[in-house]
Copies of this chain bind each other. A is one copy, B any other.
Amino acid sequence: MSTAITLPNSALQPDGAGTASFTSSSISSPANAVQTVAIDLADRSYPIVIGAGLMGAHAIYAALPQAATALIVTNTTVAPLYADALRTALAPKYAQVHLVVLPDGEEHKNWQTLNLIFDALLQHGCDRKSVLFALGGGVVGDMTGFAAASYMRGVPFVQVPTTLLAQVDSSVGGKTAINHPLGKNMIGAFYQPQLVVCDLATLDTLPARELSAGLAEVIKYGPIADMDFMGWLEEHMDALLARDRTALAHAVRRSCEIKAWVVGQDEREAGLRAILNFGHTFGHAIEAGMGYGAWLHGEGVGAGMVMAAELSRRLGLVDDAFAARLRALVQRAGLPLRGPVLDAADNAGRYLELMRVDKKAEAGEIRFVLIDGPGRACVRAAPDALVREVIAACCSG
């Protein structure tokens, strides 16, 4: 059964001409049920399926386009855990299922690693119909997606995200990319998968630090779009940290629904979609300034949300109580509350320098995603002096 979902907060109501729509369905409520969020992007539409143990169920892949070969792209951490299960599930569908195992970590999200995927595709004689499967976290997903977008100018791909962050973030939106030494995600494409399989059972093997990092992207959806969801997270944070599958299923589904609505309005990030980067402007500066991989992406977003909320507060957009409430939720998720000192001599200057090369910056002006009322985000510039005050107040070495 399929029902249309209406988002509760006014900031996310369709404005008449909106093109976005998605439908969600679920079989009652037990933890083992399969839930589906349908992402509606015209000829680039696809379903996200959510449930425990889905990866190994070959029926999940039945509707994918037929091809002679499939290539599973994964990393050294995930391969021993899940590559065999996925391979077995794909065997009835594809005559040949190949595997390429990448080194693990954000520091490998570069051209050299991407090229390992192209090497494998060509060595195995993969053609324009071959299907890529991204089995892993956000780094594997981003690189596999960009490889799929670029190989022979585009082949089909499927996301099988094995981290909470990838399930709630990269599974919707079609953003793929690699890093450049001078900036994160600078080289990439908008490219949609055919299918996303969020297998909640894979979260059992996720290190606690990565579970927390994933919760940063879940928490984000509250302040920018849905304060009811923020309230639900406050009630269920202990269950999420204990990996309760019913709670995880709801968090993943609601995050995907909100992101799908926003992306449906603005697939190519011309406007509204930028609100999904709440916490990311400061967060990207932290990641780049510390060297990719030192802080997890979600950790940067956690501290970055606290900094963006503080900037919103100092601009008079939200009150003390809202900023304190967000800070408390970030802390309960096990995330860092304070940014690192990136430069002992001029820390704020270093943050500003890194934020000016952010993709959202225009002609050197930093565009901050701020909260201008609980459940509502805006994108705007801020005076350097005020940003410096926020950085001084929110960082420690």
> Which A positions have Cβ atoms within 8 angstroms of B?
68-69, 111, 115, 118-119, 122-123, 125, 127-129, 149-154, 175-177, 180, 182-183, 186-190, 268-269, 356-357, 359, 361-364
B154 in contact with A268 (CB, 8 Å): yes
Nearest B residue to A176, CB-CB? B153
Which B residues are CB-close (under 8 A) to A356?
125
Q: A68 to chain B: which residues have CB within 8 Å? A: 363
Cross-chain pairs A/B with CB under 8 angstroms, 5 sampled: A125-B364, A127-B363, A127-B364, A150-B189, A153-B189
Contacts of A362 in B (CB 8 A): 127-129
Q: Is A361 a contact partner of B190 (Cβ separation < 8 A)?
A: no
Give chain B residues whose Cβ lies under 8 Å from the Cβ of A152: 186, 359
Task: Check if B190 sits within 8 Å of A154, measured CB to CB.
Answer: yes
Q: Is the CB of A177 within 8 A of B189?
A: no
The 9 closest A-B pairs by CB, nearest first: A122-B182, A68-B363, A152-B359, A150-B187, A153-B188, A127-B362, A153-B190, A118-B180, A153-B189
Name, among A152, A180, A356, A359, the residue most crowded by chain B CB atoms within 10 Å (CB to CB): A152
Contacts of A129 in B (CB 8 A): 362-363
Question: Which residue in B122, B149, B177 is a CB contact (below 8 Å) of A183?
Answer: B122
- On whether the beta carbons of B187 and A118 are closer than 8 Å, the reply is yes
Closest B residue by C-beta to A147:
B187
A187 with B268: CB separation less than 8 A: no
Q: Give the distance in Å from the alpha carbon of A369 to the alpha carbon of B176 in the complex.
A: 34
A374 to chain B, nearest CB (A): 30
**Bound form: Cα–Cα A343–B29 in Å:** 65
Residues from chain B with Cβ under 8 Å of A183 in the complex: 122
User: Which residues on B sit within 8 Å (CB–CB) of A186?
Assistant: 118, 122, 151-152
In the assembled complex, which residues on chain B have CB atoms less than 8 Å from the CB atom of A180? 118, 122
Q: Across the two chains, which residue of chain B brings its CB closest to A189?
A: B153
What distance in Å separates the Cβ of A148 from its nearest Cβ neighbour in chain B? 11
Residue of B nearest to A361 (CB): B127
Known: A123-B182, A129-B362. 9 other contacts (CB 8 A): A68-B363, A69-B363, A118-B180, A122-B183, A127-B359, A127-B363, A128-B359, A150-B189, A154-B190
Q: A111-B115, A127-B362 are in contact. Are A122 and B357 (CB under 8 A)?
A: yes
Most chain B beta-carbon neighbours within 10 Å: one of A177, A189, A361: A189
